[in-house]
C-alpha cells in the first residue's frame, strides 16, 4: 500500500502499488465505470435497486469481458490486472464492485479452465466475450455442504430443487453457476456442479436482499423447483463436504478478486475518514484564526471611539451637614 501526495487539508490517496508492467492497465477502464456507479450509488442503496446503469456502462466499455481471452472476444486481462481494476472500482462504489466481482472471478476461472482444455469453457467464454452472458454464483449458500437436492433421471439429467441465497447480480445474470446434492445431504453423498440458464422453467427470483450499503448488489434468493439440468451441463462431481478440484480451482480465483474489491472499498473509507478529519481540523483552525482577527479588528475600531469622548468632570463633594 502506498500513497500519493496531496494538498494540505486533504487525505493522500491510497492505492495498490503496481509491481509489474501492465498491472494497472485496466484501472482507467474501472475508473470510467466508477464514475457512473458513484453518481447512482446512494439512490440504489436507498431504494434497494440493482446497479443497472453501471452494468450498462460495463457492457459498453467491455469491462464485463475483461478476463476473456482476446481471441474469444475479450480484453485478455490477467488475474492480477482484474484485481487492480477491481480495487479501483471498489473505491467508487462498493455495491457495483462486489456485484461484478462474482461475474469476473467466474470468468477468470473459465479462462483458466479453457487454457487447460476443459470442455465447455470456450463456449461460455465466447458468450461472455460477445456481451451475451453475465454469470451469477451461489457460493454464498453452497460452499462445501449444499442442501439443494438433485434427483437423477433415467436419461442422466437432474431434477434440482432448493433455495440459493446471496445470488449477487441475480436480475442481470444470464446463468448461475451452482451445485446440488445427489440424494439426501450428508456424509458419503456426492455433489454435482453445473450451470443453469436464467431465466429457466422452475427458477424463481425472490427479492429478499436488504443489506445496508450493499442493496445495489441485488443478492436475492433464487428458488429452484424441479429444474431440469441436462447431463451435459454437469461439469464436475465431488464428495459432499470436500473441496475437490472444482472448488479448489474456483477458490483460487475467487479469493484474490474479492479481496482486491474489499481493499478498494477499505482504501476509500480510509481516505474519506482522513479527509474529513483534516477538513474538520482545518475548519476549526480557520474559525479560531477568524475569531482572533475579528477581535483584533474590533479592538482597533474601538480605540478611536473611546479617545473621542471628553474626560468627564470630577464629581462634586457632598454638601456639608447643617
Would you state the pLDDT for residue 7?
A: 43
Would you state the pLDDT for residue 140?
A: 72
CATH superfamily, with its number, for domain 2-133+248-275: Acyl-CoA dehydrogenase/oxidase, N-terminal domain (1.10.540.10)
Would you state the pLDDT for residue 272?
A: 87
DSSP string, 69-95: -GGGTS----HHHHHHHHHHHHHH-HH
pLDDT in tens, the chain (322 residues): 333 334 444 445 556 788 889 999 999 999 999 999 999 999 999 999 999 999 999 999 999 999 999 999 999 999 999 999 999 999 999 999 999 999 999 999 999 999 999 888 999 999 999 998 999 998 777 788 988 999 999 999 999 999 999 899 999 999 999 999 998 888 899 999 999 999 999 999 999 999 898 999 989 999 999 999 999 999 999 999 998 899 999 999 999 999 999 999 999 998 888 888 888 766 776 677 667 766 776 666 666 655 555 656 666 666 766 6
CB-based contact 145:178 (threshold 8 Å): no
Q: Do domains 2-133+248-275 and 135-243 have the same CATH topology?
A: no
Would you state the pLDDT for residue 3?
A: 35
Cα–Cα distance measured from residue 108 to residue 74, given in angstroms and rounded to the nearest whole number: 11
Cα–Cα distance measured from residue 67 to residue 58, given in angstroms and rounded to the nearest whole number: 13
Would you state the pLDDT for residue 301?
A: 65
Cα–Cα distance measured from residue 14 to residue 32, given in angstroms and rounded to the nearest whole number: 19
Question: 120 phi and psi, to 5 degrees?
Answer: 90, -20
Would you state the pLDDT for residue 291?
A: 72
3-class DSSP state for residue 165?
Answer: strand
Domain map (residue ranges) of the chain: 2-133+248-275, 135-243
Cα–Cα distance measured from residue 98 to residue 104, given in angstroms and rounded to the nearest whole number: 10
CATH superfamily, with its number, for domain 135-243: Butyryl-CoA Dehydrogenase, subunit A, domain 2 (2.40.110.10)
Containing H/E element for 194?
strand 190-197
pTM over 0.95: no
Radius of gyration of the chain (CA): 31
Amino acid at each position: 500500500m502506498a500513497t500519493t501526495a496531496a494538498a494540505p487539508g486533504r487525505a493522500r490517496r491510497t492505492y495498490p502499488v503496481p509491481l509489474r508492467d501492465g498491472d494497472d492497465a485496466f484501472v482507467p477502464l474501472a475508473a470510467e465505470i466508477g464514475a457512473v456507479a458513484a453518481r447512482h450509488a446512494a439512490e440504489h442503496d436507498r431504494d434497494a435497486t440493482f446497479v443497472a446503469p453501471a452494468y450498462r456502462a460495463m457492457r459498453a466499455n467491455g469491462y464485463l469481458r475483461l478476463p476473456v481471452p482476446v481471441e474469444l472476444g475479450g480484453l485478455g486481462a490477467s488475474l492480477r490486472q482484474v484485481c487492480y481494476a477491481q480495487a479501483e472500482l471498489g473505491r467508487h462504489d462498493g455495491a457495483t464492485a462486489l456485484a461484478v466481482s462474482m461475474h469476473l472471478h467466474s470468468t477468470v476461472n473459465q479462462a483458466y479452465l479453457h487454457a487447460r482444455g476443459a470442455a465447455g469453457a470456450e463456449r461460455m467464454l465466447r458468450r461472455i466475450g460477445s456481451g451475451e452472458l453475465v454469470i451469477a454464483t451461489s457460493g454464498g449458500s453452497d460452499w462445501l455442504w449444499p442442501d439443494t437436492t438433485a434427483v437423477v433421471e433415467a436419461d442422466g439429467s437432474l431434477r434440482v430443487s432448493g433455495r440459493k441465497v446471496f445470488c449477487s447480480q441475480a436480475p442481470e445474470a444470464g446463468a448461475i453457476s451452482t451445485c446440488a446434492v445427489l440424494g439426501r445431504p450428508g456424509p458419503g453423498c456426492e455433489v454435482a456442479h453445473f450451470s443453469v440458464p436464467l431465466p429457466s422453467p422452475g427458477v424463481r427470483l425472490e427479492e429478499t436482499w436488504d443489506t445496508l450499503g450493499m442493496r445495489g448488489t441485488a443478492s436475492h434468493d433464487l428458488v429452484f423447483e424441479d429444474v431440469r439440468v441436462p447431463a451435459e451441463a454437469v461439469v464436475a462431481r465431488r464428495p459432499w463436504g470436500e473441496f475437490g478440484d472444482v472448488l479448489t480451482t474456483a477458490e483460487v480465483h475467487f479469493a484474490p478478486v474479492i479481496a482486491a474489491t474489499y481493499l478498494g472499498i477499505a482504501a476509500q473509507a480510509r481516505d474519506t475518514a482522513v479527509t474529513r478529519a483534516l477538513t474538520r481540523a482545518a475548519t476549526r483552525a480557520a474559525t479560531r484564526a477568524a475569531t482572533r482577527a475579528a477581535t483584533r479588528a474590533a479592538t482597533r475600531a474601538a480605540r478611536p471611539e473611546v479617545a473621542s469622548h471628553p474626560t468627564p468632570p470630577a464629581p462634586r463633594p457632598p454638601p456639608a451637614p447643617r
